Amino acid sequence: VTPEFELIRRFFTRPARKAVLGVGHDCARLAPPEGMHCAISTDMLVAGRHFAEDADPQSLGWKSLAVNLSDLAAAGADPAYALLAIALPGVDVAWLEGFSTGFFSMAERYGVELVGGDTTRGPLTISVTVIGHVPAGLALCRAGARPGDDAWLSGQTGDAALALEHGAGRVQLSAQDLAACRLRLDRPQPRVELGRRLRGHASSAIDVSDGLAADLGHIAEASGVSFDIAADVLPRSAALRACPDAQLALQCLAAGGDDYELAFTAAPERRTEIDALGRELDLPLTRIGTAVRGRGAVTLRDAAGTPVILARAGFDHFA
Ligand code: ADP
Ligand code: MG
């Protein structure tokens, strides 16, 4: 057995339980459950771009799967399978052990089976593909918001960006706030349960990865509406509330990215059930604004209704 296949066997092979055929062949084979559609998504993490070269491998393993599960959550899909394509600068056993521990802890939490991938030498790059199942006709997507719908947000945004601002020396966080923000950055919690429970209730959904305003903009464009968002209603963590630079705090909150919360819309008649769902999941669900007639605009307003101008709406790799 060559080192490449020994590496795959040791770090990336677990027994297939759901898959008809798992790792070790040219193709995995999956049998989608009756009446289900497959939801599929890929996200790539590149060293030096999405994470530092020396980032903790266990967190990376966790996050590389978590950010993909976040996309399945936005579709309302139940996670089922993953594929992992990874380029490694060399064989570093301690790194691989950490990475696969983090990856499989996230995988086990959501019953995800790793059924294949590709392993090659190269600049550290991690590309994960996930496959989930959603009852035919019930999947959520970015289209479907209608004027008059409420805009909702799960959890809180801004902490991951605040951790990066601290790292860049633009703000000084207390040790406690920094630890909380770093946890949000390194160990995002995909809102899988929320997504699946929003099937049939939400009119549209997206996961917030590039910044709240930018991602709401994607719903707005796909749905053919605009959004009015109340800046003072956006839920803030203790760290963001303690941030002395109000402008920077708002920038993180509304445009920071790396949040992996769900933003979604629903008709106002759904308020009671969505509030109840938030309590049941022990996850704050906040009504942050309204979909209005328009063509893709997202307007953030202060308490007096005056539009708030952001330096930028979100993260763009090519901007
Ligand atoms: P092929 O060359 O036929 O595409 P490979 O030699 O790349 O196959 O891979 C051998 C087997 O190992 C395949 O089943 C593939 O899906 C799996 N595999 C390779 N790398 C990974 C990885 N990082 N994680 C999970 N499975 C992997
Ligand atoms: Mg082959």
The DSSP annotation for 5-19 comes to HHHHHHHH----SSS
Q: How far apart are the first and last CA of the chain?
A: 45
| Closest residue to atom 16 of ligand 1, CA basis | 116
Residue of the CA atom closest to atom 18 of ligand 1: 117
**Residue type (1 letter), 158:** G
- 40 Cα: distance to centroid of ligand 1 (angstroms): 19
Ligand sitting nearest the alpha carbon of 87? 1
Separation between Cα atoms, residue 13 and residue 115, nearest integer Å: 8
Distance 46 CA to ligand 2 centre (A): 25
The DSSP element (H or E) to which 227 belongs, if any, is strand 225-230
Question: How far is the C-alpha of 134 from the C-alpha of 144, rounded, in Å?
Answer: 17
Query: According to the model, what pLDDT value does residue 103 have?
Result: 98
**Can you point out the beta strands (E) in 60-140?**
78-88, 113-121, 125-135
Q: How many helices (H) does the chain have, and how many strands (E)? A: 10, 10
Beta-sheet pairing, 225-230 with 285-293: antiparallel
Q: What was the pLDDT predicted at 315? A: 73
The Cα 221–Cα 170 span in angstroms is 33
Distance CA 8, CA 119 (A): 8
Pocket lined around ligand 1, Cβ cut-off 6 Å: 8, 12, 23-26, 84, 86, 114, 116-119
**Closest C-alpha among 203, 285, 300, 296 to residue 251:** 300
User: Based on the number of CB atoms within 10 Å of its own CB, is 286 exposed (0-12), middle (13-18) or buried (19 or more)?
Assistant: middle
Enumerate long-range contacts of 4-10, CB under 8 Å, 24 or more apart: 4/119, 7/91, 7/96, 7/119, 8/117, 8/119, 10/96
Using the atom order of ligand 1, give the atom closest to the CA of residue 118: 20
pLDDT given at position 319: 65
Q: Are 199 and 137 in contact (CB under 8 A)?
A: no
Which residue lies with its CA nearest to atom 21 of ligand 1? 117
Question: 135 C-alpha vs ligand 1 centroid, how far in Å?
Answer: 30
Among 299, 293, 303, residue whose Cα is nearest residue 149: 293
Distance 68 CA to ligand 2 centre (A): 25
Atom 20 (ligand 1) nearest CA = 118
pLDDT tens for each residue of the chain, 319 residues long: 678 899 999 999 998 899 999 999 999 999 999 999 999 999 999 999 999 889 999 999 999 999 999 999 999 999 999 999 999 999 999 999 999 999 999 999 999 999 999 999 999 999 999 999 999 999 999 999 999 999 999 999 999 999 999 999 999 999 999 999 999 999 999 999 999 999 999 999 999 999 999 999 999 999 999 999 999 999 999 999 999 999 999 999 999 999 999 999 999 999 999 999 999 999 999 999 999 999 999 999 999 999 998 887 777 777 6
The whole-model pTM stands at 0.95
